[in-house]
Amino acid sequence: MSLHAGQVILAPIVSEKSYHGSTLGTYTFKVHPDAHKTQIRQAVEQLFDVKVRRVNVITVQAKPKRRGQFKGTRPGWKKAVVQLRAGDTIEIFQGAQL
């Protein structure tokens, strides 16, 4: 499947763990379910003008949820943890206060 960079990276993941990782040079993104490591690497390098050192991909499983008698599931999704070369940063994560 051919995806361009804007379709591969869907959103940054905002959490305490991801902000701590950004101080160490790792950034976490929600990515397209069909994207693979090479596509994620190329998309991050193209969108943010940085060099990627490593990409780890995690598939988050769907979770069963219940509200009263109604049952359902939260959809599963895919996330990528991207480690950048030393000295490179992504600006969208800068300026956030914990």
Q: Please report whether residue 76 resides in a domain.
A: yes
Three-state secondary structure call for residue 89: coil
| Number of domains the chain is built from | 1
Neighbours of 64 (CB within 10 A): 8
Q: Please report whether residue 94 resides in a domain.
A: no
The residue segments making up the domain with residue 40 are 5-88
Average pLDDT on 44-57 reads 95
What CATH number is associated with residue 67?
3.30.70.330
| Backbone phi and psi for residue 24, each to the nearest 5 degrees, phi listed first | -95, 0
Average pLDDT, the chain: 91
Classify residue 93 by its DSSP letter.
Answer: G
pLDDT in tens, 4-31: 888 999 999 989 999 899 889 999 999 9
Q: What is the DSSP string of 7-73?
A: HHEEEE--SHHHHHHHHTTEEEEEE-TT--HHHHHHHHHHHH---EEEEEEEEEPPEEEEETTEEEE
pLDDT in tens, 63-90: 999 999 999 999 999 999 999 999 888 8
